[in-house]
Structure 1
Amino acid sequence: MPSTRKAYRAALLHSLADPAEVGIEASYEYFPDGLLLVENGRISALGAASDLLPSLPADVEVIHHVDALITPGFIDTHIHLPQTGMVGAYGEQLLDWLNTYTFPCESQFANRAHAEEVADIFIKELLRNGTTTALVFGSVHPQSVDAFFEAAEKLDLRMIAGKVMMDRNAPDYLTDTAESGYLESKALIERWHGKGRLHYAVTPRFAPTSTPEQLTLAGQLLGEYPDLYMQTHISENLQEVQWVKELFPERKGYLDVYDHYQLLGERSVFAHGVHLCDDECARLAQTGSAVAFCPTSNFFLGSGLFNLPMAEKHKLNVGVGTDVGGGTSFSILQTLNEAYKVMQLQGARLSPFKSLYLATLGGARALRLEERIGSLQPGSDADFLVLDYHATPLLSYRLKQARNIAETLFVLMTLGDDRTVKQTYAAGNLVHQR
């Protein structure tokens, strides 16, 4: 049998732990001249090239990337498939923006051919930007999720998605009912959850667009299938927070609505959390829930600044999300650029190693997938990127001035974008080449 093993030689960098918990130096592993050995879709070894090359069997092909950095694939913990066609829509805050742009755009997904076309574009954009796993909102139409999963399955990607559940406070052409939302979600779960590297997420859009009956049935689905994900939005915009208070006056606050309907848990991811309070962060952490930090869209829609230090204080799992189409880029590198500025505006620091953690291992932990993705540890799925130090003339010139890996990493996150991603691998297969 021919060998399925391949080795990749370049600088290697991955996170080992959260810098907020172990300190920066203990949080990462870096090999200036490293070797990554991949076998049958998994990482079987990594280390210094000088240590591993002498013992490498003669039949193993070594692919050498000069002036490049290999990292784990990026993980996007919040993004909307149906909003691909409205990225960069001008001039509204959240609630007006939904009505003016989002809902009309999402209505097109009633057409299966449209859903398939956008799923193809969407996945190509993810991979072009180095995102190998994403937690994805579909539209209210089941075919949006079918189209996405079919495209992801062909490439053996690890992806999570769900059909939006939305039975009120939205146009008639875009609502389901509590019962139809439950039954359609259940059918999708049976069809896709656990198939290959695919997972299903129960997806109530946000509290204002679901009746208590629908939220009850969303919680019921989580009880029926214990390893499901749940994704929704929370505390993104002050107007939205006030609206939730008016719709659910009997609850203590926004998070308490979800808590009451049993939607918190170890695979529950709440997007934004810009206006969470201390008690809510504590409750999210206590239940093992996670937050998706979406700086690009929080800036673009004028929503506010996520308080990462408060989340760290409570040891709350945090991943990073592009939130396309509120976010304006599929690029996790560009999203980290914005995240740094969010911290600056709050008088806090965001080290490049914390950013790397948020984009890789932190995202994996938020999704409870750290045994499979988010690092280059042996045994992990071979989802990794080759980042090109010479992707643009400015990047090439600037990196010549970098004195260490911290500076190199920060420059990649500040000046880098889709052009920086030379290759993307998923389960050991080359799925994007620039």
Structure 2
Amino acid sequence: EWLRLRALPEEARLVDAAYAREVAGEFLGGLTASGTTTAMVFGSHFPQAVDVLFEEAERTGLRITSGLVVSDRILREDLLLAPAAALEAGRDLARRWHGRGRLRYAVTPRFSLSTTDEMLAAAAELLHEQRSGPAGGLWFTSHINENVDEIAQVRELFPDATGYLDTYARHGLVGPRSILAHNVHPQPEELTAIAAAGAAVAHCPTSNSALGSGLFPLREHLDAGVRVALGSDVGAGTGFGILKEGLQAYFMQQLRGPAGSQLGAADLLHLATRSGALALGLADEVGDLSIGKQFDALWIRPRSGGTLETVLRHAEDAEDALAALFALGTCADIESVWVGGQEITHHRPTAVGLAPEGAA
């Protein structure tokens, strides 16, 4: 219902390139202000809007992987595209943007629910056409196992598939350059297959809570060897902040009781930084501040007299300070953001107070 009444009507407005540019600027500004330097971004159903997103991303200097979202059934008519047209539009966009600066292209069927086997075959054709070059092959992203109703509908639409994952995997869409969003209700054999393929899962705890999707089985993913990183899913979530997503991930595992993973502050930092770099194939470049990597970093500078500043001042060690950042930190506490050693934003030039450093 939320998709039909809220998300899809807004997405349809992106057919207007001028409006798409306005939204892209606001979106990328939100990422920057929240301290997110690198992101896999669910694009638009319209090629002109995807062009605008990449243009604005290039201007801001963020590391963005995105692409044309394609569907050929179920959604409103103005968001649908025939498989042949989707393939040609994707080729054109990928040629123009993949590997250009910090930008990369992701083949993006919206989800199996809105794509036929013909569309998924076209997605696979595009994915496997470009395997070389400085940026390597294209990326793949889509949704999987987000909620039980969706899974049941996918089962009806793909009666010959062994599960949700198989709707993608049998077309060759699941591999080391694949990031699958949500996976709240996986089958054990799907976790085994995701791990074997080297794919990653984007865990979006705030969105899962807002939509009542369920409690993410983090322990089961990790036990199976699946790489997991944090996502905000801002369409259904409540903002861009990865600190908040880390805190929500902690809450979600607490709610699972004995079945949940016990997450400490260092675990949340790993999920918010290096895990994302690993999922995006960028761990040799970013994800931590070790020697030889590019300087992607945040300067976190809480306001003097605020709750976070007070707690940090009384922190007994780094673990306490880090826990305070996830529990109490907000976008307002981020003073500056660097990408590749270049400062891309600077907030509150007159701010005073404690100045602990944080890395993204």
Question: Same fold by TM-score, threshold 0.5 exceeded?
Answer: yes
SS of the residue aligned with 2:105?
Answer: strand
Task: Measure the CA separation in 2 of the matches of 1:392 and 1:432.
Answer: 24
Q: 1:134-162, CA deviations, whole angstroms, 9 ceiling, x for partnerless residues?
A: 10111110122111111111233211011
Larger Cα Rg: Structure 1 or Structure 2? Answer: 1
Cα gap change, 1:109 to 1:252, in 2 (>3 Å): same
Matched with 1:317 is 227
Matched with 1:232 is 142
Of the structure 1 ranges 307-316 and 384-393, higher mean CA displacement relative to structure 2 is found in: 384-393
Partners of 2:106 and 2:140 within 8 A in 1: yes
- Please tell me whether residue 287 in structure 1 is matched to residue 192 in structure 2: no
* Letter in structure 1 aligned against 2:346: Q
* Letter in structure 1 aligned against 2:293: S
Instruction: Note the C-alpha offset of 1:256.
Output: 1.0
Q: 1:180-215, CA deviations, whole angstroms, 9 ceiling, x for partnerless residues?
A: 111111100000000111100000000011111000
Report which of the two has the higher share of strand.
1
Partners of 2:215 and 2:252 within 8 A in 1: yes
Task: Measure the CA separation in 1 of the matches of 2:52 and 2:7.
Answer: 19
Partners of 1:384 and 1:424 within 8 A in 2: yes
- Please tell me whether residue 134 in structure 1 is matched to residue 47 in structure 2: no
SS of the residue aligned with 1:219?
Answer: helix
Report which of the two has the higher share of helix.
2
Which residue among 241, 249, 255 is the counterpart of 1:339? 249
Of the structure 1 ranges 352-361 and 382-391, higher mean CA displacement relative to structure 2 is found in: 382-391
Instruction: Note the C-alpha offset of 1:399.
Output: 1.8
Matched with 1:30 is none
Task: Measure the CA separation in 2 of the matches of 1:309 and 1:139.
Answer: 33
Paired residues in the alignment total 339
Partners of 1:329 and 1:335 within 8 A in 2: no
Task: Measure the CA separation in 2 of the matches of 1:306 and 1:277.
Answer: 13
Matched with 1:106 is 11
Instruction: Note the C-alpha offset of 1:389.
Output: 4.1
Task: Measure the CA separation in 1 of the matches of 2:224 and 2:303.
Answer: 40
* Letter in structure 2 aligned against 1:429: Q
SS of the residue aligned with 2:140?
Answer: strand
Which residue among 413, 416, 420 is the counterpart of 2:333? 420
Partners of 1:333 and 1:416 within 8 A in 2: yes
Task: Measure the CA separation in 2 of the matches of 1:392 and 1:308.
Answer: 36
* Letter in structure 1 aligned against 2:329: G
Normalising by structure 1, we get a TM-score of: 0.77
SS of the residue aligned with 1:203?
Answer: strand
Task: Measure the CA separation in 2 of the matches of 1:390 and 1:343.
Answer: 30
* Letter in structure 1 aligned against 2:19: H
Matched with 2:318 is 405
SS of the residue aligned with 1:381?
Answer: coil
Partners of 2:61 and 2:344 within 8 A in 1: no
Q: How does 1:298-313 map to 2 (within 5 A)?
A: 298-313=208-223
SS of the residue aligned with 1:131?
Answer: coil
The CA RMSD over aligned residues, in Å, is 1.1
Partners of 1:290 and 1:317 within 8 A in 2: yes
Q: 1:217-258, CA deviations, whole angstroms, 9 ceiling, x for partnerless residues?
A: 111111111211101000001100000000000011101111
Q: 1:158-186, CA deviations, whole angstroms, 9 ceiling, x for partnerless residues?
A: 11011101111101011111111111111
- Please tell me whether residue 124 in structure 1 is matched to residue 34 in structure 2: no
Task: Measure the CA separation in 2 of the matches of 1:330 and 1:401.
Answer: 28
- Please tell me whether residue 375 in structure 1 is matched to residue 288 in structure 2: yes
Matched with 1:71 is none
SS of the residue aligned with 2:37?
Answer: strand
Task: Measure the CA separation in 2 of the matches of 1:331 and 1:136.
Answer: 14
Task: Measure the CA separation in 1 of the matches of 2:27 and 2:270.
Answer: 24
Which residue among 281, 289, 296 is the counterpart of 2:206? 296
- Please tell me whether residue 326 in structure 1 is matched to residue 214 in structure 2: no
Matched with 1:143 is 48
Task: Measure the CA separation in 2 of the matches of 1:137 and 1:378.
Answer: 32
Task: Measure the CA separation in 2 of the matches of 1:180 and 1:275.
Answer: 33
Q: Once superposed, which parts of structure 1, at least 4 consecutive aligned residues long, lie more than 2 Å away?
A: 389-392
* Letter in structure 1 aligned against 2:43: G
Cα gap change, 1:360 to 1:299, in 2 (>3 Å): same
Normalising by structure 2, we get a TM-score of: 0.92
Q: 1:358-389, CA deviations, whole angstroms, 9 ceiling, x for partnerless residues?
A: 11110110111101111112222221111124
Task: Measure the CA separation in 1 of the matches of 2:42 and 2:144.
Answer: 14
Task: Measure the CA separation in 1 of the matches of 2:121 and 2:150.
Answer: 21
Partners of 1:324 and 1:330 within 8 A in 2: yes
Matched with 2:74 is 169
Instruction: Note the C-alpha offset of 1:315.
Output: 1.7
SS of the residue aligned with 2:94?
Answer: helix
Cα gap change, 1:170 to 1:279, in 2 (>3 Å): same
Partners of 1:391 and 1:419 within 8 A in 2: no
